[in-house]
Amino acid sequence: MMTDTPPDLECRGLAKRFDNVTAVDSVDFSVPAGSFFSILGPSGCGKTTIMRMIAGFLEPSSGDIRIKGRSVLGVPPNKRPVNMVFQHLALFPMMNVAENIGYGLRRQGVSKSEIMRRTGEVLERISLPGIGGRKVSELSGGQRQRVAIARCMVLEPDVLLLDEPLGALDLKLREKMKVELKALQAEFDTTFVYITHDQGEALVMSDKVAVMNAGRFEQVGPARELYYNPATAFVAGFVGDANRWKGRVTAAHGADVTVLLDSGLTLCARGTGLAQGDRVEIFVRPEAISIAHDPHAMGEDANQIAVQVTAMLFNGANSRVLVRDPQSGAEIDVALPQSAAFAGLDKGDAVHIGWNRDQSLCFADSGT
């Protein structure tokens, strides 16, 4: 839909090697204007290196970074149309809020009255009007967060980089800031590139998420696609919760495979490019598994097991039931349906669980 305007940020064959270690290995992506793009990965996967290359603190070993169609290779950080919200925000402790926000404008040589006006305006937009005179140390965690974003946004960058800025906040505030960040992004209508190891943050806020592992992008797509159609075993295991089992393919007909798990259970699953005898990993989401007292209620599900409840893990809407297959001894994590029928479920109860063939995602075992 945006064929004529170049994307706000585009990386082509981006790579970074430190001595013998390849931190980022030929990564390609482009971020359309005004969208929220996240890079999700475990610590040490190279996501911070990508961000620092975009910001200009590191030079790529090879590849190109284009912002609004123009290559920024060789442009120092202070000349790039990109600003960064640091992990610990890095607000200037020696300045008050207004001076922090005005810092970048002062560097651009904007007049004092104009700085005053724009600082006031941006404080208004982050709904913290009138706090310009406060010290940074007097602000709460959430306020600091917003000031750090305002400090960048007042410069109207083409791309805003955010380096796990929610990591230091407590859980409640983090949940609130997720929603707020998304709203701020819409408000400023700027391209956000967000890196995090927290899948919750990435899935909730992003238009598109790149899942990164060992210097490469495993899969890039909308959150829903990553969750329901993971391309690799890593994505299936990293995004969302899943029961994860290893086994061997005993029969394969096209995409339909039958797998004998190491625990002795036999499952019907779906996976491409697998042949009989292959070692595989199977992922089943806890909420994909239905649970019933009566075996006839399971319907057409390809995988049906009569199990015993071993533990109830109550956690409000995210409650889980741990069940065990008495024959194989395999433990299975099942989401507790929010209906009165299972409210009284207790340890030792016999129940039936079942799930569809399509909901057992099967990947060749990578050996990890």
Partner 1 sequence: MTPGRLSFFLLLAPLVLWLGLLIVIPHIDMALVSLRARVAPGEYTPSLQNYADFFTQPLYLVTFARTAIMSILATAITLIIGFPISYYIAKIAKGRSQASLFLMCLIPFWVSELVRTFGWIILLRETGVISGLLQWAGLADQPVEMLYNDSAMMLGLVYTSMLFMVVPLTTTLESLDDAVIEAGYDLGGNGFSVLREIVIPHAMPGIVSGCIVVFMLSLGNYLTPTMLGGKDSLWFTQLIYSQFIVRFNWELGAAFGFCLLGASSLIVWGMLRLTGQTLERTMGEGS
Residue number with CB closer to partner 1 (54 or 334): 54
202 bridge partner residues: none
Task: Indicate whether 107 belongs to the interface with partner 1 (CB under 8 A).
Answer: yes
Among 30, 35, 61, 87, binds partner 1 (CB under 8 A): 87
CB 119 within 8 A of CB 98: yes
Pick 100 or 290: Cβ nearer partner 1: 100
Token code pair at residue 238: 């990293």
Tell which one of 90, 297, 341, 350 touches partner 1 (CB under 8 A): 90
CA distance 13 to 22: 13
Asked if residues 154 and 106 have their Cβ atoms less than 8 Å apart, the reply is no
Q: How far is the CB of 193 from partner 1 (least distance, A)?
A: 14
Residue among 56 and 240 whose Cβ is closer to partner 1: 56
Closer residue to partner 1, CB minimum distance, 97 or 336:
97
Single out the segment in contact with partner 1 by CB under 8 A; choices: 81-89, 175-183, 222-230, 251-259.
81-89
Closest approach, Cβ 184 to partner 1, in A, equals 18
Over the window 137 to 176, marking each residue x when it contacts partner 1 by CB under 8 A and - when it does not, the resulting string is --------------xx--x---------------------
**Assigned token pair, 172:** 């409640």
List Cα–Cα distances, 202 to 40, 88, 222, 238, 261, in angstroms. 7, 18, 10, 12, 32
Q: SS3 for 10?
A: strand
Which of 84, 149, 257, 353 binds partner 1 (CB under 8 A)? It is 84
> CB of 8 within 8 A of CB of 157?
no
Does residue 111 touch partner 1 according to CB under 8 A? no
Nearest one of 166, 170, 222, 156 to 194, comparing CA atoms: 166
- Give how far Cα 201 sits from Cα of 3, 86, 223, 316, Å: 29, 16, 11, 20
DSSP 244-271: EEEEEEEEEETTEEEEEETTS-EEEEE-
How many residues touch partner 1 under the rule CB under 8 A: the total is: 26
Which one of 92, 187, 251, 350 is in contact with partner 1 (CB under 8 A)?
Answer: 92
Q: Which of residues 34-73 bind partner 1 (CB under 8 A)?
A: 55-57
- Of the two residues 97 and 321, which places its CB atom closer to partner 1 in the complex? 97
| Beta-strand pair 256-261/243-253 | antiparallel
Closer Cβ to partner 1, 38 or 83, answer by number: 83
* Nearest to partner 1 of 16, 208 (CB atom): 16
Tokens of 311: 């533990």
Greatest alpha-carbon span in the chain? 77
Does position 83 bind partner 1 by CB under 8 A?
Answer: yes
**Smallest distance from the beta carbon of 210 to partner 1, in angstroms?**
22
Between the CA of residue 235 and those of 145, 187, 210, 211, 303, what are the distances in Å?
Answer: 29, 31, 10, 7, 23
Does 77 bind partner 1 (CB under 8 A)? Our answer is yes
CB–CB of 332/287 below 8 Å? no
Q: Does 108 bind partner 1 (CB under 8 A)?
A: yes
Q: Which of 74, 76, 316, 344 binds partner 1 (CB under 8 A)?
A: 76
Q: Which stretch binds partner 1 (CB under 8 A): 1-9, 84-92, 294-302, 323-331?
A: 84-92
Binding site for partner 1 (CB under 8 A): 55-57, 76-79, 82-84, 86-88, 90-95, 103-104, 107-108, 151-152, 155
